[in-house]
Amino acid sequence: MTVHPAHTRVLTSDETGELAVPFTRVALTNGETFDRYCTEGPGSDPEVGLPPLRSAWIDGRGDTTPYDGRAPQLVDNGRSAIRRGEARDEWRGEKRQPRRGANVTQMAYARAGKVTEEMRYVAVREGCDVELVRSEVAAGRAIIPANVNHPESEPMIIGRRFLVKINANIGNSAVTSSIAEEVDKLTHAITWGADTVMDLSTGEDIHTTREWIIRNSPVPIGTVPIYQALEKVNGEADQLSWEVFRDTVVEQCEQGVDYMTIHAGVLLRYVPLTANRVTGIVSRGGSIMAGWCLAHHEENFLYTHFDELCEIFRQYDVSFSLGDGLRPGSTADANDEAQLSELRTLAELTARAWEHDVQVMVEGPGHVPLHLVEENVRLQQDWCHGAPFYTLGPLATDIAPGYDHITSAIGAATIAMHGTAMLCYVTPKEHLGLPNRDDVKTGVITYKLAAHAADVAKGHPGARDWDDALSKARFEFRWRDQFALSLDPVTAESFHDETLPAENAKTA
Amino acid sequence: MTVHPAHTRVLTSDETGELAVPFTRVALTNGETFDRYCTEGPGSDPEVGLPPLRSAWIDGRGDTTPYDGRAPQLVDNGRSAIRRGEARDEWRGEKRQPRRGANVTQMAYARAGKVTEEMRYVAVREGCDVELVRSEVAAGRAIIPANVNHPESEPMIIGRRFLVKINANIGNSAVTSSIAEEVDKLTHAITWGADTVMDLSTGEDIHTTREWIIRNSPVPIGTVPIYQALEKVNGEADQLSWEVFRDTVVEQCEQGVDYMTIHAGVLLRYVPLTANRVTGIVSRGGSIMAGWCLAHHEENFLYTHFDELCEIFRQYDVSFSLGDGLRPGSTADANDEAQLSELRTLAELTARAWEHDVQVMVEGPGHVPLHLVEENVRLQQDWCHGAPFYTLGPLATDIAPGYDHITSAIGAATIAMHGTAMLCYVTPKEHLGLPNRDDVKTGVITYKLAAHAADVAKGHPGARDWDDALSKARFEFRWRDQFALSLDPVTAESFHDETLPAENAKTA
């Protein structure tokens, strides 16, 4: 569904004529058109899901085979499924695993000099040479999150040489929301421009909710598997084990999750570094793992089993999003020893994942005063050998709960200008409650404008064309075109009409 | 009126015990308190106005005398007053003029080594040494906008060594609003933290509306007198003359306007520099003056009569806000020759105003991509000898009408971090329509957070204490304190209650 009558979907290919890459074409009243990057996918009936766009490509490579996969368990859907004795609305997508010895990651192909359909698709979307895509993926400076079990996804790329991307978090919790609501939030987020979506569900029906989301998602889906693993041990962090976690990861890999946040950098010896902070450990994953380390006085099992995780991820082409469990939760704690120690470990883990040809991005803060923002990218890019940086904001001040989409957009635009590849959105409800549908939209639009401001500031080829088209329409009083070209035509038009509702006020 | 039950007004003095400088004291549930800068004044009955706080100080200096001033004219209140044959709701404040030969500007006092009550008041507000205030004003690096005919104002300072300030624009237009509505917007803006307010009225009852606003305003009031002058010549720019303009300026000086935007830098020879821009001239004042220059093929009368303007301003201590009539209206036009040529002229005019001991700030853009923002401050500070910079945003991208409070807050936080002294707010209605009461609040809160983010980034003494207090409350789950300390407690609490309305969810 497009958001304005002047918008249509057009499909483009490279010289092979084999691809159908969607763009949003904006028809202007002066006869010109303007094409925009499009994230919303072809649209789906939630109960049917999307067509498996990439199945033919994956099958064509001949390096995977269908298999039954891990047997579903009641615990996958949480405690109420166990109580009921059955899961709700079950759904199983196709499962693929690689043939023995095959390495099916985009990084492995890129390093072998093989150009995949995914890379060609991405090159059309970005309007760049496919060799740039291949070489950046091969070098680890960009990732194409594309699990072989999520064939419904339209390939996209995350890397500093490409358009800055944004992620929207959705997910249920113990207090709110249903499966249908979460699929609706997914659709709403991608309609407004989310490039990836993370499902952070912690409530009931986690497994099934995720299945519905993935089967309906044209964008890569990310998760934080420790959240589900914790549910499986009744929320008691010290009861977690590598075995429970491993099984959860396999469960999610088989469903088609494209990237997973793994808090493997929260080492036992770093935990005391947070003792004198203003806000200690605020990352949920970080505090779960710190709690486990302290309870057992053992090293983080995600760190000690990291190579095994790599082995699993490479079988499905799941990308790491190396979590910053010790990120600062306040401007006071920014760029401190705890944060930077963990970053050094994430750099080490990046190199280890790359030995397995597994794609990696690295997560970043959080809360950072504006003068310290650039240092975060500089150190991450330097230490992590250019692996894509994926940051939450950062929030430039702590004093404005209710407006943290804005405090964080300030930091986000700045950090992206300096080289961050993807921005995780923050909604107005941050720190206060769970985002509803409107909050999701506000968060997405706010982050789209921050990402685009960074693209313009970076001098990204063609980025300013959009600004120029809109500014020209504005200068020529082509109101309808100004609305059609804006990130949110609905809001722009309704604001205009509040003051000047007359129809002729839009044309003169 | 305070915005939260935990807020009270406290009054502080310096060692003389003679001042009563207001702060907002936030009482926390752990027994601590946190004091915040307070802009909202003591509150007033709109029909009575505020007590004239500064009258005794002004009288005490013995360098002004009461006088009758210019006789009111029907044209001061626009065409409908002329039609009616009478003005509506007239009101005349006291008028003062300097004794012969006296120079009553804060800059003149500061340069003579005299510390005024206004400077002492400001020093208490800012928590700094009064000598810093005096020396910065003397050097022209800061201004205290304080017309002798606006004794109701609580002195404040604008300069890079002090807290970053924000301005809110209000004002009626031909299509909307009443006198009472504008006074209500004033009160709403200062309640939420506007440090100055500009009355940009262009509709009916301009003179009277301004009188009501000034008599009720504890913050400095700015205007763009060319708007009213244009009304006096029936909106025909080529009919403007120095005489009409001069008379309008005297009218506004006598009412107590504290600073005026004067587009004296739009020189005839600069107008052609805008010909190839994407968005030409977008400043209203700029296009009025450019139109006049072209129609008459003469130099801008604001430039040719600038010394006469200085003579008028020094009689009342009105500060210049040197307008950037050629500011870029799109990211495409940022930092171009038209903009920078005008800035060089504004630098020349700054020095000329200082010869008359008249206070000056310089206005800046507009629309600027993020990587070009810092250059704007650097050049302005360098060329204009450190005179305070006062910028509108700037907007970091043009693609998000409806969200331009956010696109501009990104630019605003960045430009303020690099030394801009005051930020003119942008509301969500920018480019689309006139801001209503809610838009005023959204604009103010957005700019308060941007200004504070800049204070923190600059390492301004004590700025981060606010963040730390709120973050500590957050970490300790003191929800009530988190709300009370936030910029907008009402929104923070209501967002929290949407998800977790139970009373005990605020204490645990």
Pull the structure tokens for residue A241.
């084990």
Q: How far is CA B332 from the centre of its chain?
A: 27
Give yes or no for residue A331 having a pLDDT over 70: yes
| Whether A398 and B371 lie within 8 Å, measured CB to CB | no
* Backbone phi and psi for residue B68, each to the nearest 5 degrees, phi listed first: -75, -35
| Whether B399 and A467 lie within 8 Å, measured CB to CB | yes
CB contacts of B423 in chain A (<8 Å) are none
B398 lies within 8 A of chain A by CB = yes
Q: Which residue type sits at A434?
A: L
Q: How many CA atoms lie within 13 A of A406 on its CB side?
A: 29
pLDDT, average across residues A224-253: 96
**Dist. CA B432–CA B212, nearest whole Å:** 27
Distance from the Cα of B493 to chain A's closest Cα (Å) equals: 8
Distance from the Cα of A177 to chain B's closest Cα (Å) equals: 11
Pull the structure tokens for residue A367.
């809360």
**Dist. CA A302–CA A333, nearest whole Å:** 25
pLDDT at A503: 61
pLDDT at B99: 86
Alpha helices in B112-205 (DSSP H): 117-126, 130-138, 179-191
Residue B280 zone, left/alpha/beta (φ > 0; ψ -120 to 50; rest): left
Q: How far is CA A247 from the centre of its chain?
A: 23
B500 lies within 8 A of chain A by CB = yes
Distance from the Cα of A488 to chain B's closest Cα (Å) equals: 7
CB contacts of A471 in chain B (<8 Å) are 278-279, 329-332, 367, 398
Report field, pTM of the whole predicted structure over 0.90: yes
Q: What is the per-residue pLDDT across B436-460, written as a single tens digit (0 to 9) for each?
A: 999 999 999 999 999 999 999 999 9
| Whether A398 and B467 lie within 8 Å, measured CB to CB | yes
CB contacts of B274 in chain A (<8 Å) are none
CB contacts of A462 in chain B (<8 Å) are none
CB contacts of B464 in chain A (<8 Å) are 331-332, 369
**Dist. CA A157–CA A107, nearest whole Å:** 12
Residue A328: count of CB within 10 angstroms of its CB: 30
User: Which segments of chain B have a pLDDT < 50?
Assistant: 508
Alpha helices in B219-331 (DSSP H): 225-232, 242-255, 284-296, 301-304, 306-316
Residue pairs spanning A and B at CB distance below 8 A: 247
pLDDT at A176: 55
* CB nearest to B488's CB, from A403, A468, A500: A403
Distance from the Cα of B149 to chain A's closest Cα (Å) equals: 35
pLDDT at A501: 65
* CB nearest to B401's CB, from A406, A456, A486: A486
Nearest CA in chain A to B276: A472
Which residues fall within 8 angstroms of residue A255, CB to CB, at 6 or more apart? Answer: A93, A149, A207, A210, A211, A214
Interface of B with A in 452-471 (CB under 8 A): 452-454, 456-459, 464, 466-468, 470-471
CB contacts of A377 in chain B (<8 Å) are none
pLDDT at A469: 98
Which residues fall within 8 angstroms of residue A236, CB to CB, at 6 or more apart? Answer: A230
| Cα angle for residues A128, A130, A132 (degrees, 5° grid) | 75
CB contacts of A502 in chain B (<8 Å) are none
> A134 by DSSP, 3-state: which?
helix
| Whether A498 and B429 lie within 8 Å, measured CB to CB | yes
Give yes or no for a contact between A191 and A216, defined as CB atoms under 8 angstroms apart.
Answer: no
Give yes or no for a contact between B317 and B149, defined as CB atoms under 8 angstroms apart.
Answer: no
CB contacts of A410 in chain B (<8 Å) are 409-410, 413-414, 450, 453
Q: What is the per-residue pLDDT across A75-132, written as a single tens digit (0 to 9) for each?
A: 998 888 888 888 877 777 778 888 887 899 999 999 999 999 999 999 999 999 999 9
Q: How many CA atoms lie within 13 A of B416 on its CB side?
A: 39
**Dist. CA A397–CA A330, nearest whole Å:** 8
**Dist. CA A77–CA B230, nearest whole Å:** 70
Four-residue CA torsion sign, A307, A309, A315, A317: negative
CB contacts of B369 in chain A (<8 Å) are 453, 456-457, 464
| Whether A499 and B458 lie within 8 Å, measured CB to CB | no
B498 lies within 8 A of chain A by CB = yes
CB contacts of A488 in chain B (<8 Å) are 400, 402-403
pLDDT at A47: 86
Distance from the Cα of B154 to chain A's closest Cα (Å) equals: 25
* Closest to A42 in 3D by CA, of A257, A286, A228, A217: A217
- Reported in sequence order, the residue ranges of A319-465 that DSSP labels E, i.e. its strands, are 319-322, 360-364, 389-392, 422-424
Pull the structure tokens for residue B275.
């010909």
Distance from the Cα of B377 to chain A's closest Cα (Å) equals: 16
A331 lies within 8 A of chain B by CB = yes
> A167 by DSSP, 3-state: which?
strand
| Whether B485 and A399 lie within 8 Å, measured CB to CB | yes
Distances (CA, A) of B282 to A478, B169, B285: 15, 17, 9
CB contacts of A449 in chain B (<8 Å) are 397, 399-400, 403, 406-407
Q: What is the per-residue pLDDT across A123-158, written as a single tens digit (0 to 9) for each?
A: 999 999 999 999 999 999 999 999 999 999 999 999
| Whether A396 and B498 lie within 8 Å, measured CB to CB | no
| Whether B176 and A499 lie within 8 Å, measured CB to CB | yes
CB contacts of B474 in chain A (<8 Å) are 279, 329-330, 398, 431
CB contacts of A448 in chain B (<8 Å) are 400
Reduce the secondary structure of A10-73 to three states and give it as a string: EEECCCCCCCCEEEEEEECCCCCEEEEECCCCCCCCCCCCCCCCCHHHHHHHCCEEECCCCCCC
Residue percentage of chain A with pLDDT more than 70: 97
Pull the structure tokens for residue B392.
């509108």
Q: pLDDT tier at A508 (50, 70, 90 boundaries)? A: very low
pLDDT at B174: 60
A417 lies within 8 A of chain B by CB = yes
Q: What is the DSSP track for B49-84?
A: ----TTHHHHHHHT-EEE---SPP-GGGG-HHHHHH
Q: pLDDT tier at A482 (50, 70, 90 boundaries)? A: very high
| Whether B331 and A464 lie within 8 Å, measured CB to CB | yes
**Dist. CA B399–CA A451, nearest whole Å:** 11
B52 lies within 8 A of chain A by CB = no
Nearest CA in chain A to B405: A406
CB contacts of B497 in chain A (<8 Å) are 433
Interface of B with A in 264-283 (CB under 8 A): 278-280, 282
Instruction: Provide the ipTM.
Output: 0.96
> ω before A394 within 30° of 0 (cis)?
yes
Pull the structure tokens for residue A263.
């808090």
User: Which of B395, B432, B436, B445 is the best mutation test for A, with the most CBs of A within 10 A?
Assistant: B432
* Closest to B398 in 3D by CA, of A496, A422, A474, A165: A474
Nearest CA in chain B to A428: B495
| Whether B400 and A498 lie within 8 Å, measured CB to CB | no
Q: What is the per-residue pLDDT across A447-480, written as a single tens digit (0 to 9) for each?
A: 999 999 999 999 999 999 999 999 999 999 999 9
pLDDT at A95: 86
